[in-house]
Amino acid sequence: MSTLKIAVQKSGRLNEDSIKLLKNCGIRIENGKDQLKASAANFPLDVLYLRNGDIPQYVEDGVADIAIVGENLLVETGNDVEVVRKLGFSKCKLSLAVPKDTNYPGPEFFEGKKIATSYPNTVKQYMEKVGVKTEVHVIKGSVEIAPNIGLAEGICDLVSSGSTLFKNGLVEKDIILQSEAVLVKNKNLTAEQEELLETILFRLDAVQKGEKSKYVLMNAPNDKVDEIIKVLPGMKSPTVVPLAEEGWSSVHTVMEESKFWEVIDQLKGAGAEGLLIVPIEKMVL
Ligand code: AMP
């Protein structure tokens, strides 16, 4: 029987969330991350713990069949792999930043100047697109110190909360790309491997839908129930069950959390009381 090999970051920002995601998909991984390879106990999946920067190449070469990586890395390496799902975590931006108080009219600021980055290919592509000739200085880590030590006039780096830039007296100016963790696959999987991947994607979709949605319960007098149902943007028809107290019902539905905040005032206005919002672990439609 065929086995699928998934590459995940050995260490770094994506590692923990990647393992958590597999676990949420009901895949139990036996060994710790100190090992290079672990096998799932209840699914034909091997987990390869690899160095982040190497992962896209391993997937292109078929050493790993699928992988969880940051989109920013795929853009930088340009490997020929296929993105099958956005995973919604490790969201960040790859941005141009300069010391605060710098007069920055736009990317043309960098014309004839130096820019420090760990993402030279992405920066060069961007600068070519905007028609700016700049000198790219590659640094592997702590890019944000480059302007302070006179190595470059500005940087291009990943920004998440922005606190690293702030601490180093830098200001984000232009966003080159938005990134998040994605699931990628090798383009030549066998039919059996594609089937295994489909099973994982089915579970993943159930987890992602569950994460976005909430189970919402509320009480209301019976004569208000119709009005409340009109406001609810639920999956299907809500459940209405009588309460022990005469003349009252409990209304249950499932909705996206963002929608809930849009309709909360309308629900209260329509007579809903005692609202409960409960997390959903998985959702299969
Ligand atoms: P922050 O201070 O939260 O803006 O994070 C910036 C620092 O974390 C920089 O050193 C970035 O290179 C790194 N970083 C931010 N987001 C990510 C990410 N999604 N993946 C890898 N490194 C990141």
Domains of the chain, start order: 4-88+181-189 (3.40.190.10), 92-179 (3.40.190.10), 213-279 (3.30.70.120)
95: Cβ below 6 Å to ligand 1? no
Return the pLDDT at 30: 79
Return the pLDDT at 285: 82
Return the pLDDT at 233: 82
Nearest to 183 by CA among 282, 88, 80, 44: 88
Q: What is the DSSP string of 81-142?
A: -EEEEE-S-S-EEEEEEEETT----SGGGGTTSEEEES-HHHHHHHHHHTT---EEEE-SS-
Return the pLDDT at 218: 97
pTM beyond 0.75, yes or no: yes
Q: At what angle do helices 13-24 and 191-212 cross, to 10 degrees?
A: 90
Residue to probe by mutation, ligand 1, list 89, 157, 164, most atoms within 8 Å of CB: 164
92: Cβ below 6 Å to ligand 1? yes
Q: Which residues lie closer than 8 Å to 135 by C-beta, 6 or more apart?
A: 112, 113, 114, 115
Nearest CA to ligand 1 atom 20: 13
Return the pLDDT at 234: 67
How high is the mean pLDDT in each 10-residue block of the chain (285 residues)?
93 93 93 80 96 97 98 97 97 98 97 98 98 97 96 98 97 98 98 97 95 95 95 85 97 93 94 96 90
Return the pLDDT at 235: 66
